[in-house]
């Protein structure tokens, strides 16, 4: 069992630069095949620092965290899908509730930090985001194998075994998931002007009615989760965002 876990992980037993070189190698491997990549961090600062390092190496990259407003996040995700961005550095992937079938590589940094962003459940959810693409690969970067990592990998292997058996039984060939968002195009009648106040300046953003509805649906899902988790501060923030978008 330990051997399987070792193969499933890249253990950072050497200096930090070794981990970075390994990640760069993986990014190049997947980008060369015309796929996109996600790097999942634990803090806003690390997301910005890694994004800057990648920019210095001429990668088309951007970072996402909670200080970036909802509409801006949606625009950045669209850029990833339209090949304007190769790599997206993200703090909390799960809060967006958006599938990214174009992504074939996910790097989970600080995977051995045993807390809510690296619990067994969260690791499983992040790993299975990659299930939208049959060419996908997930690498957990860690100094040690924690219980959360072990449980997440064992559960992933269990589910994969069941899926592979089902596919073989019914002659199913896995295919990439198709997302409707990529096909959305703005028309003159659909265009909506949305003003976003930031740093005391008004910034005009244009989205379609369909895109607006997708954003609202995502926010409403997040709102239900926040209420169920009794995170009322987050719920209030989400309600304000929903009202703001509905009034546009």
Q: What are the pLDDT digits (tens) for 78-133?
A: 888 888 899 999 887 655 556 788 899 999 999 998 877 788 988 988 888 887 88
Going by C-alpha positions, the residue among 239, 230, 214 that lies closest to residue 97 is 214
Tokens of 3: 């051997």
Which of 10-24, 87-101, 153-167, 219-233 reaches the highest mean pLDDT? 153-167
Q: Which long-range contacts (CB under 8 A, 24 or more apart) does 83-86 make?
A: 83/36, 84/60, 85/36, 85/60, 85/61, 86/27, 86/31, 86/36, 86/37, 86/59, 86/60, 86/61
Tokens of 210: 């369909």
Lowest mean pLDDT among 36-50, 129-143, 183-197: 183-197
Residue 194 clears pLDDT 60, i.e. is over it: no
179 or 59: which carries more pLDDT confidence?
A: 59
pLDDT in tens, 124-176: 888 888 878 888 999 999 988 999 999 999 999 999 899 999 999 999 888 88
Classify 173 as helix, strand or coil: coil
Tokens of 207: 């989205």
């Amino acid at each position: 069992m330990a051997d399987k876990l070792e193969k499933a992980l890249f253990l950072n037993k050497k200096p930090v630069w070794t981990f970075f070189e390994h990640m760069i190698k993986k990014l190049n491997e997947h980008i060369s095949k015309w796929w996109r990549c996600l790097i999942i961090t634990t803090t806003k600062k690390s997301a910005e620092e890694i994004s800057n390092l990648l920019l210095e190496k001429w990668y088309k990259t951007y970072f996402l965290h909670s200080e970036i407003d909802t509409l801006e996040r949606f625009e950045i995700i669209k850029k990833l899908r339209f090949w304007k961005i190769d790599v997206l550095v993200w703090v909390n992937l799960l809060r967006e509730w958006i599938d990214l079938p174009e992504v074939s590589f996910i790097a989970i940094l600080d995977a051995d930090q045993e807390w809510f962003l690296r619990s067994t459940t969260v690791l499983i959810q992040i790993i299975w985001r990659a299930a939208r693409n049959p060419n996908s690969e997930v690498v957990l970067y860690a100094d040690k194998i924690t219980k959360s990592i072990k449980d997440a990998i064992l559960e992933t292997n269990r589910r994969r075994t069941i899926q592979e058996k089902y596919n073989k039984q019914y002659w199913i060939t896995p295919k990439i998931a198709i997302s409707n968002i990529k096909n959305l195009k703005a028309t003159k009648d659909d265009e909506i002007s949305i003003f976003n106040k930031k740093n005391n300046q008004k910034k005009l953003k244009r989205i379609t009615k369909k895109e607006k509805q997708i954003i609202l649906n995502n926010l409403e899902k997040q709102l239900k989760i926040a209420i169920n988790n009794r995170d009322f501060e987050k719920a209030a923030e989400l309600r304000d965002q929903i009202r703001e978008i509905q009034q546009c």
